[in-house]
Structure 1
Amino acid sequence: MPETNLPKDFESQMLELLGQAEFEQFKTAINKPSRTSIRLNSAKNFSLSWANTSIPWSSTGFFLDERPSFTLDPAIHAGAYYVQEASSMFIEHILRSQNIPRGIYLDLAAAPGGKSTLLSSYLGDEGMLVANEVIQPRAQVLKENIIKWGLGNTVVTNNDPEHYGTLEGFFDLVLVDAPCSGEGMFRKDPQAREEWSIDSVQLCSARQKRIMDQAGALVKADGYLVYSTCTFNEQENEDMIRFLTEEFSYEPVRISIDNAWNIRETSVESEGKIFFGYRFFPHLVEGEGFFITVFKRSSDAYIQEPKRVKDFKHPYLKEIWDRDSSQLDEELGFDGKGKYYTLNDSFFRISKDWNLHFQKISQHLSLKYFGVEIGKKQKSDWIPNHEWALSILPKGDFPSYEILELEALEFLRKNELEIPDLPLGWVLITYKNLPLGWIKNLGKRVNNYYPKEWRIRM
Structure 2
Amino acid sequence: MNFPPDFISSVRPLLGSETELFLSALSGDASVSLRLNPSKAVRNPMESVFPSKRVPWSQWGLYLEERPAFTFDPLFHAGYYYVQEASSMFVEHVVRELVTEPAVCLDLCAAPGGKSVSLLSALPEGSLLVGNELVRQRAHVLSETISKLGYANVLVTNNMAKDFSAFPHLFDLVLVDAPCSGEGMFRKDEIAVEEWSMQNVEMCAVRQRDILNDIWPALKPGGLLIFSTCTYNTLENEENAFWIARELGAEFVSVTTDKGWGVSSSLDKRVKGYRFFPHKTQGEGLFVTILRKAEAGAEDATVGGQRVRSKNKKKPLPFMKDRSAYANLLLHPDSFIFMEDGNRIFALPVEYSEVIVTLNERLKTVSMGIELGEKKGKDFIPSHMLAMSRELNLSAYPIYEVVYEEAVSYLRRESIILADAPKGYLILTYKGEPLGFVKNIGNRANNLYPNEWRIRSGHLPEKKAEIFTP
> Secondary structure in 2 aligned to 1:256?
coil
Structure 2 partner of 1:77: 77
2:24 pairs with 1:25: no
- Alpha-carbon deviation of 1:212? 0.6
Number of paired residues?
A: 448
Partner amino acid, structure 1, of 2:127: G
Structure 2 vs 1, CA of residues 229 and 311 (structure 1 numbering), >3 Å: closer, same or farther? closer
Q: Once structures 1 and 2 are overlaid, which stretch shifts more, 393-402 or 85-94? A: 393-402
> Secondary structure in 1 aligned to 2:151?
coil
> Secondary structure in 2 aligned to 1:336?
helix
Would you say the 8 A contact 1:224–1:295 is kept in 2?
yes
Structure 2 vs 1, CA of residues 278 and 46 (structure 1 numbering), >3 Å: closer, same or farther? same
Partner amino acid, structure 1, of 2:274: Y
Whole-Å Cα distance in 1 between the matches of residues 260 and 21 of structure 2?
18
Would you say the 8 A contact 1:326–1:339 is kept in 2?
no
Unaligned residue ranges in structure 2 (runs of 5+) = 458-470
Partner amino acid, structure 1, of 2:241: I
Following superposition of structure 1 onto structure 2, how do residues 117-136 of structure 1 map, counting pairs within 5 Å?
A: 117-123=117-123, 125-136=125-136
> Secondary structure in 1 aligned to 2:322?
helix
Structure 2 vs 1, CA of residues 401 and 418 (structure 1 numbering), >3 Å: closer, same or farther? same
Following superposition of structure 1 onto structure 2, how do residues 43-442 of structure 1 map, counting pairs within 5 Å?
A: 43-44=39-40, 45-47=43-45, 48-123=48-123, 125-266=125-266, 268=268, 274-300=270-296, 301-307=298-304, 319-321=318-320, 323-325=321-323, 328-329=326-327, 332-377=330-375, 382-395=380-393, 396-442=395-441
Partner amino acid, structure 2, of 1:8: P
Whole-Å Cα distance in 2 between the matches of residues 306 and 118 of structure 1?
30
Whole-Å Cα distance in 1 between the matches of residues 161 and 434 of structure 2?
35
Structure 2 vs 1, CA of residues 104 and 9 (structure 1 numbering), >3 Å: closer, same or farther? same
Root mean square deviation, CA, Å: 2.3
- Alpha-carbon deviation of 1:220? 0.7
Q: Once structures 1 and 2 are overlaid, which stretch shifts more, 143-152 or 438-447? A: 438-447
2:4 pairs with 1:15: no
Whole-Å Cα distance in 2 between the matches of residues 414 and 318 of structure 1?
37
- Alpha-carbon deviation of 1:176? 0.2
Whole-Å Cα distance in 2 between the matches of residues 333 and 356 of structure 1?
22
Deviations 1:156-179 (CA, angstroms, capped at 9, x unpaired): 111111111111211010000000
Structure 1 partner of 2:465: none
Whole-Å Cα distance in 2 between the matches of residues 296 and 403 of structure 1?
50
Whole-Å Cα distance in 2 between the matches of residues 206 and 98 of structure 1?
29
- Alpha-carbon deviation of 1:377? 4.7
Whole-Å Cα distance in 2 between the matches of residues 317 and 435 of structure 1?
36
Whole-Å Cα distance in 1 between the matches of residues 330 and 253 of structure 2?
44
Partner amino acid, structure 1, of 2:280: L
Whole-Å Cα distance in 1 between the matches of residues 180 and 376 of structure 2?
49
Would you say the 8 A contact 2:328–2:396 is kept in 1?
no
Following superposition of structure 1 onto structure 2, how do residues 440-451 of structure 1 map, counting pairs within 5 Å?
A: 440-451=439-450
Whole-Å Cα distance in 1 between the matches of residues 204 and 310 of structure 2?
43
Deviations 1:164-205 (CA, angstroms, capped at 9, x unpaired): 111121101000000000000111112211111100000000
Deviations 1:19-43 (CA, angstroms, capped at 9, x unpaired): 0x20010011011101110000000
Would you say the 8 A contact 2:253–2:291 is kept in 1?
yes
- Alpha-carbon deviation of 1:454? 1.4
- Alpha-carbon deviation of 1:352? 1.1
Deviations 1:276-321 (CA, angstroms, capped at 9, x unpaired): 010100000000000000011223334322547998869x997124
Whole-Å Cα distance in 1 between the matches of residues 76 and 249 of structure 2?
42
Q: Once structures 1 and 2 are overlaid, which stretch shifts more, 98-107 or 186-195? A: 98-107
Would you say the 8 A contact 1:149–1:391 is kept in 2?
yes
Structure 2 vs 1, CA of residues 391 and 332 (structure 1 numbering), >3 Å: closer, same or farther? closer
Would you say the 8 A contact 1:102–1:172 is kept in 2?
no
Partner amino acid, structure 1, of 2:5: K
Structure 1 partner of 2:30: 34
Whole-Å Cα distance in 2 between the matches of residues 330 and 136 of structure 1?
34
- Alpha-carbon deviation of 1:266? 1.5
Whole-Å Cα distance in 1 between the matches of residues 249 and 186 of structure 2?
35
Whole-Å Cα distance in 1 between the matches of residues 443 and 10 of structure 2?
68
> Secondary structure in 2 aligned to 1:319?
coil
> Secondary structure in 2 aligned to 1:421?
coil
Deviations 1:319-373 (CA, angstroms, capped at 9, x unpaired): 124x435884367553401112222211011101012321331232111110110
Q: Once structures 1 and 2 are overlaid, which stretch shifts more, 297-306 or 202-211? A: 297-306
- Alpha-carbon deviation of 1:124? 6.2
Structure 2 vs 1, CA of residues 310 and 456 (structure 1 numbering), >3 Å: closer, same or farther? closer
Structure 2 partner of 1:452: 451
Whole-Å Cα distance in 2 between the matches of residues 400 and 220 of structure 1?
46
Would you say the 8 A contact 1:171–1:223 is kept in 2?
yes
TM-score using structure 1 length: 0.92
Q: Once structures 1 and 2 are overlaid, which stretch shifts more, 297-306 or 147-156? A: 297-306
Would you say the 8 A contact 2:417–2:443 is kept in 1?
no
Whole-Å Cα distance in 1 between the matches of residues 4 and 79 of structure 2?
38
